[in-house]
Structure 1
Amino acid sequence: MMHVLLASHGSYASGLREAAEMILGNQEKLYVLGLYPGESLEIFTEKISRVIQETGEAENVLILTDLRNGTPFNAALMSVVKYGSACISGVNLPLLLEVLSTRKECDSAEVVKNAIQSGKDGIVDNVSFGIQKSKSME
């Protein structure tokens, strides 16, 4: 089963884990790291490296970051290069739920592909959707 590391600014990663576990139940091999004021890229990269090393399966780790080109993302990319892990930026709850729901039965490439699609599909302009639906019902 794929290891999943949530890496974000502040407590966003912890909140995502809490929400996901509320929906799916307790999750094994799910790790959380938050970047807080005063922490450097080097310190955060070392934290990610420690988690990856502790898994003993570096090539079977998927890192999910909150913001492309942010410090957690940059630290994750260094780890991807060093350990051969995978990384997706722009994590949201639908994306995380897809990863956690499919990581046991799908290969990593399929998990990544489906997770990105689920993340995109989870973003909807509900006001416009409601207006269009109302007009079609008239």
Structure 2
Amino acid sequence: MGKVLSFIIVTHGDIGGSLLAVAEYILGRKLDNFVAVNVPFMGELQHVIDSNCRFPFAERRQLIKEQIRKAKNQVDKGSGIIILTDLFGGTGFSVASEFFTSDDGVIISGVNLPMLLKAAEIRQGSPVEVAVDLVDRTRKAVVCRFPPSFTG
């Protein structure tokens, strides 16, 4: 087996950690090249950010950036990284976009459980190819089922 891609899940609260735990449970194995980074809420940072800080949101962004860098160092095997975020334009997405370059890999928003399960299955390939495949495959996993009374 060749080198595998690495994945960093960046989400508000512990959504990413929970998604990762469920994916590992379903697959019956640890996903070693996956790591979750929680984007903390301001109230959770009172012990870290000085109450007299003039720019608490900037300091929060810097803390998140450092968490993403640590996660990158933890899982990066040299084959590329895909960052999976919960919300396009959200804090995790925008912070990652500030320093994560196309040489590093790809950022995808809209992470969900089907996406993680597919990512675990197709971990080899270029980050761009895998990202396109992930988005295409998981787009098909979003389904609206109407109750029988609505189908005519």
How far has the Cα of 1:57 moved from its partner? 4.1
Q: Does 1:62 align with 2:82?
A: yes
Query: TM-score when scaled to structure 1?
Result: 0.83
Structure 1 unaligned regions, length at least 5: none
- The CA deviation string for residues 116-136 of structure 1, in whole angstroms up to 9 with x for no partner, is 01221111111168844xx4x
Structure 2 unaligned regions, length at least 5: 46-59
> Counterpart of 2:32 in structure 1: which amino acid?
E
Structure 1 residues 41 and 83: CA distance shift in structure 2, 3 A = farther
> Counterpart of 2:96 in structure 1: which amino acid?
A
Name 1:107's counterpart in structure 2.
126
Q: CA RMSD in A?
A: 2.3
> Counterpart of 1:74 in structure 2: which amino acid?
S
**Structure 2 residue matching 1:23: 3-state secondary structure:** helix
Give the whole-Å Cα distance in 2 for the aligned partners of 1:2 and 1:37.
Answer: 29
Aligned counterpart in structure 1 of residue 143 of structure 2, from 109, 124, 135? 124
Larger relative contact order, structure 1 or 2 (CA cutoff 8 Å, min sep 6): 2
Give the whole-Å Cα distance in 1 for the aligned partners of 2:100 and 2:149.
Answer: 41
> Counterpart of 1:15 in structure 2: which amino acid?
S
Give the whole-Å Cα distance in 1 for the aligned partners of 2:14 and 2:137.
Answer: 22
Q: How does 1:85-96 map to 2 (within 5 A)?
A: 85-96=105-116
Give the whole-Å Cα distance in 2 for the aligned partners of 1:122 and 1:79.
Answer: 31
Q: Does 1:51 align with 2:78?
A: no
- How many residue pairs were aligned? 132
Query: TM-score when scaled to structure 2?
Result: 0.76
